[in-house]
Amino acid sequence: MDKEKFKSDFSQRLIMLSLNVIGLCRDLEQDRTLRIIANQLIRSVCSIGANVSEAKCSSSKKEYARYFGIALSSANESIYWFILIEKSDKKHTSVAVKLRIETEEIAKILASSLITMKGKRN
């Protein structure tokens, strides 16, 4: 797969993850306790894509890597929220597991990209 196709596919994955989480959170917001988790989850998941998009306009490799680092942190935070949903809400467990797995895969891509970026700077 060429680099541009990978970037395009990755951007689409981030958009789909955000949209799927928004859908999940609409259901979660019906429960007062889960509403707090839903709000945090939307923020953290959407931050992944937003920071990757922001990286595209970076003025330096260091700034680009910084945005990817923020995206990775947001992915890790999102994984935490998914685990809380899995353990506290049986109704949405299967969806939360599916989205957590996708987020873990995205986190691995971001981490790998950061390692590559750091290797190229040295």
User: Please, what are the domains in the chain?
Assistant: 3-121 (1.20.1440.60)
CB 68 within 8 A of CB 50: no
Q: What percent of the chain is predicted at pLDDT more than 90?
A: 84
CB 47 within 8 A of CB 70: yes
Mean model confidence pLDDT for the chain = 94
Q: What is the pLDDT of residue 107?
A: 98
pLDDT tens sequence across 54-92: 999 999 999 999 999 999 999 999 999 999 999 998 999
Q: What is the pLDDT of residue 120?
A: 65
* Interior/surface letters 42-63, b for 16+ CB within 10 angstroms, e for the rest: bebbbbbbbbbebbeeeeeeee
- Tokens standing for residue 76: 């890790």
Mean pLDDT, residues 26-53 taken together: 95
Q: Kindly report the pTM of this predicted structure.
A: 0.92
Q: What is the pLDDT of residue 121?
A: 53
- The amino acid at residue 84 is L
Q: Is the pLDDT confidence value at 49 over 80?
A: yes
